[in-house]
Structure 1
Amino acid sequence: MTQLPAAGAEAAALLETLGCPLAPGGRPSPIDGSAMPLVPDAADVDAAIARAAAAFAEWRSVPAPVRGALVRRFGDALREQREPLGRLVAIETGKPLSEGVGEVQEMIDICEFATGLSRQLYGLTIASERPEHHMREMWHPLGPVAIISAFNFPVAVWAWNAAIALVCGDSVIWKPSEKTPVTAHAVHALFDRVAAECGAPAGLSQLVPGGRDTGAVLAADPRIPLVSATGSVPMGRAVAQAVAARLGRSLLELGGNAATIVAPSADLDLAVRAIAFGAAGTTGQRCTTMRRLIVHESVCDALLARLKRAYASLPIGDPRAPGMLVGPLIDGDAVSAMATALERARAEGGTVTGGEHLYGNYVRPALAEMPGQSDLVREETFAPILYVLRYSDFAEAIALQRDVPQGLSSSILTNDLREAEAFLSATGSDCGIANVNMGTSGAEIGGAFGGEKETGGGRESGSDAWKAYMRRQTQNVNFGRSLPLAQGVEFEV
């Protein structure tokens, strides 16, 4: 096998290629522990917010299709740099290379979506009860939008928010995860170049690397009407409380605990492929990762035998190497959290297959056959652990699927039309995403992405998620010479 360069050194070389060099001294790469380039924390967050507010004052008056043209140009620039940026994502997060490149493709896709959206920010015309009156609804730019992103998708989730916010007329302020600031630095440098070429206002997008304190400043600042935060439930609670205290808006994308129901009629060939990616893809570090497998007792043994063979054959190692499907966890804390969860599973009577710590941040994905639902199964451990539960009737399966605090993604594998439709009904899955005959991961940008309960209730990306980044105004126009009042109220002077 060809010897690969140290991950930190390769990251530095990629930054040189991308025109935004940085010195070493940052966090260790999850791949091999070598030092990543150092992205310094923002020196003055208050000044960055002020620059974003000044840029918004100008940008909101630019016609939306012109704003869309900037986002289109940015998407073109991302397309030109897709491979080096994707490789940088893989190095910094430990994702397999195809997933790193796929994340950059997701940014390109949302830029295309947002460009089209810039000509479709539709309002409504509403019938007025008053003669010679028009009533309509208009959407206006909201203001500077703070985006707090997580390590597992270090750039795509920022793009979901930023591309839409920019065409809506907002400026953006980005606090990347302190675990993955390098790719954010590269992407933001690219955006700054495109914005300057397009003549956009200076400060239209601000990058403010930092830790919890930086996020707290953004959440508390009244100049920021919307804070979009992706991360853990405790982090989301803190952000929501700070933003609500000043009566601002928050858009939250928090924890997940996705379940897949496998019915007696399921295609087991399809099931093995869907489950393997859903549970082990990105080394279990997606908010949509399949963490619970609820299998009918009649097919459970056969499916588990096939899953164990599939898990044993998963290539695990340096994600830059060809054919690797499972890379490292993000850091040693994640490795420890996985080990602790598996110890608890065994203590609760579970049978664990896999889950070994191999070396460094590398682990083998685990299957944990559990005797029933428990506090452990209701919790989200951000690692490749799939808890397997058995069910005997469909109502029991739905009850198990719903019996967790989180509500992001879910799926069912079945060839029974009645079961599929019942799963999608109001009494079926209680998640923001519900899939049939596929896994729980891999959402397309065209649909609104988000979940219910402790997932936070936010919606990002497609559909009408753009409305979160604008303010709604009901407008009434009297084009007559009298002044009739609504509800027949009379007031003559």
Structure 2
Amino acid sequence: MKQTIDQLPLTKTIEDVLQQLGIKDLNPTYSTGLVWGGKENRNTKAIHSPADGNKIASVNMATPEDYEQVISTAQEAFKSWRKTPAPKRGEVVRQIGDKLREYKEPLGKLVSYEMGKILQEGLGEVQEMIDICDFAVGLSRQLHGYTMHSERPQHRMYEQYHPLGIVGVISAFNFPVAVWSWNTMLAAVCGDVVVWKPSEKTPLTALACQHIIREVLVNNELPEGIFNLIIGDAEIGSLMSHDGRVPLVSATGSTRMGKKVGEAVGARLGKSLLELGGNNAIILTENADLEMALRAIVFGAVGTCGQRCTSTRRLIIHENIYEQVKERLLKVYPNLPIGHPLSSTTLVGPLIDKEAVKAFQQALERVQAEGGTLLTGGEVLEGEGFESGNYVKPAIVEAKNEYETVQEETFAPILYLIKYSGDVENAIELQNGVRQGLSSAIFSSNLLETEAFLSHWGSDCGIANVNIGTSGAEIGGAFGGEKDTGGGRESGSDAWRVYMRRQTNTINYSRELPLAQGIRFDIMD
């Protein structure tokens, strides 16, 4: 079925969006200098929308020489930015938040068209950026340390936090701007400068954000090198990971990629913030509110076409309600509105590219070879409205938790139904029985079950939810996970501390020099 685009013809919509965001031509080749990326006559990469396969633009890919210039620019900007009072830095971030409000609609459309998530999710991603700006503004007046009593007379001790310097941010295609903003707005109020390497699959949203931020920097007579963008391939990410001038590298992506970043950064004793893969489960006990649970399950499993690190991939169901839940899901899935992400009727957009479609098909083949049963979905859609070849029908598979395919994260809309018997501890053991540890959830109205899930012997994930799904975290809480998810924490709570270096200070306001632990070391008569 052909998908109609709301309000304007598609070409006109995207042309207007790009122009509103300061990107003047529909198919430009960008040559935007040090803070933006590569120079003229360099290797270019064509950017196609997964929604219809159309070319949106071409971007220059940065070289190692470009990288050196970007780092030099960032180092110079840090010299002045770190001396700017934190509340003043917060004021700049406040203005960025206001600009994002102004550009929310066109930027949300560009996120949707370039990445493939539906428009409501694209707008929600921009709202997430606005929210983290608001959070960071308040934080700029709360970068507190601690005071401690000294054991030595007429001494005092306290701790304070200082900016690190350059923060490298490597972001993934599925949240092309939100995760960058989590890192960048907190780093900015902490006094750091940022070098951002976006996914090479979604660079236009990054360019748009840089245009928006540049307006604020120019208005405040600040150097552009506070916020830097470099568009490049894995070579640029490797340079950043090995670069001792970048004390912190925050990387979002696959576990495989994160291990490479962590190894490189660790070898030089730098800091890494890793937010990697998830293999998230929802537990349904006998005491679950199924009406509420089903809404959370479907959004978690098919939202963003299963391309969230918090997507629901495993559904662990008590045997007494298993058939009922399966029957309900099999009624919902065949009727999911699949189509162009800019259509208001669409709930499931495309996968990012044909490689993702191939991975989807291969995972379904493997799990069936292991003994799983495909209950619905799995087809690649063709015909009018699906010409890009990136649209698939979300799949439901009956499987066992120990299957190798179930143990892996497939970035696609595959939901594995897993049956459990006995008490909730058996379900928790299944939920924890994977290498990843990002998000988890339980649906139950039984206090004993939910508290067991939240206890220290319960969920081993960084996120554990009760009566809500695995997907859709708020910015106020620290976001991240354990095990193969990498252990990093971004966004809210006290995640700001990772962007700063900690310093203990002891001040002697006496005329004596006593040593700690009562040590005597007299060299004078």
Query: TM-score w.r.t. structure 2 length?
Result: 0.92
Query: How far apart are the structure 2 equivalents of 1:464 and 1:302?
Result: 42
Query: How far apart are the structure 2 equivalents of 1:103 and 1:327?
Result: 15
Query: How far apart are the structure 1 equivalents of 2:512 and 2:456?
Result: 48
1:456 aligns with 2:510: no
1:178 aligns with 2:200: yes
Contact 1:31 1:91 in 2 (8 A): yes
Aligned match for 1:20, one of 10, 23, 26: 23
Alignment deviations for residues 376-415 of structure 1 (CA, whole Å, 9 cap, x no partner): 1110000000111000022221111111110000000011
1:238 aligns with 2:238: no
How many residue pairs get aligned? The number is 493
How far did residue 9 of structure 1 move? 6.5
Query: How far apart are the structure 2 equivalents of 1:371 and 1:482?
Result: 70
Contact 2:3 2:339 in 1 (8 A): no
How far did residue 192 of structure 1 move? 1.3
Alignment deviations for residues 451-473 of structure 1 (CA, whole Å, 9 cap, x no partner): 00010000000000000000000
Alignment deviations for residues 160-187 of structure 1 (CA, whole Å, 9 cap, x no partner): 0000000000000000000000111001
Which residue in the other structure is 1:388 paired with? Answer: 417
Amino acid at match of 1:365: P
Query: How far apart are the structure 1 equivalents of 2:395 and 2:4?
Result: 29
Aligned match for 2:477, one of 447, 451, 454: 447
Contact 1:7 1:34 in 2 (8 A): no
Alignment deviations for residues 100-130 of structure 1 (CA, whole Å, 9 cap, x no partner): 0000000000000000000000000011111
Matches within 5 A, 1:424-439: 424-439=454-469
Alignment deviations for residues 398-451 of structure 1 (CA, whole Å, 9 cap, x no partner): 111111110000000011101100100111000000000011000000000000
C-alpha distance 2-150 of structure 1, shift in aligned 2 (>3 A):
closer
Which residue in the other structure is 2:60 paired with? Answer: 40
Query: How far apart are the structure 2 equivalents of 1:276 and 1:268?
Result: 12
Aligned match for 1:479, one of 487, 504, 509: 509
Which residue in the other structure is 1:257 paired with? Answer: 279
Matches within 5 A, 1:52-451: 52-352=74-374, 353-359=376-382, 360-393=389-422, 394-451=424-481
Contact 1:8 1:36 in 2 (8 A): no
How far did residue 346 of structure 1 move? 1.4
Contact 1:319 1:327 in 2 (8 A): yes
Query: How far apart are the structure 2 equivalents of 1:130 and 1:407?
Result: 45
Q: Over aligned residues, Cα RMSD in angstroms?
A: 1.3
Query: How far apart are the structure 2 equivalents of 1:396 and 1:125?
Result: 46
Secondary structure at the residue paired with 1:38? strand
Contact 1:317 1:328 in 2 (8 A): yes
Contact 1:7 1:31 in 2 (8 A): no
Structure 2: gaps spanning 5 or more residues: 29-44, 383-388
Query: How far apart are the structure 2 equivalents of 1:110 and 1:372?
Result: 36
Structure 1: gaps spanning 5 or more residues: none
Query: TM-score w.r.t. structure 1 length?
Result: 0.98
Instruction: Report which stretch shifted further, 218-227 or 350-359.
Output: 350-359
Amino acid at match of 2:361: A
How far did residue 357 of structure 1 move? 1.1
Contact 1:7 1:36 in 2 (8 A): no
Amino acid at match of 1:379: E
Contact 2:367 2:403 in 1 (8 A): no
Query: How far apart are the structure 2 equivalents of 1:487 and 1:435?
Result: 46
Secondary structure at the residue paired with 2:208? helix
Amino acid at match of 1:120: Q
Instruction: Report which stretch shifted further, 167-176 or 396-405.
Output: 396-405
Which residue in the other structure is 2:14 paired with? Answer: 11
Which residue in the other structure is 1:466 paired with? Answer: 496
Query: How far apart are the structure 2 equivalents of 1:469 and 1:109?
Result: 19
How far did residue 13 of structure 1 move? 3.3
Query: What is the percentage of aligned positions where both structures have the same residue?
Result: 57
Secondary structure at the residue paired with 2:381? strand
Secondary structure at the residue paired with 1:357? coil
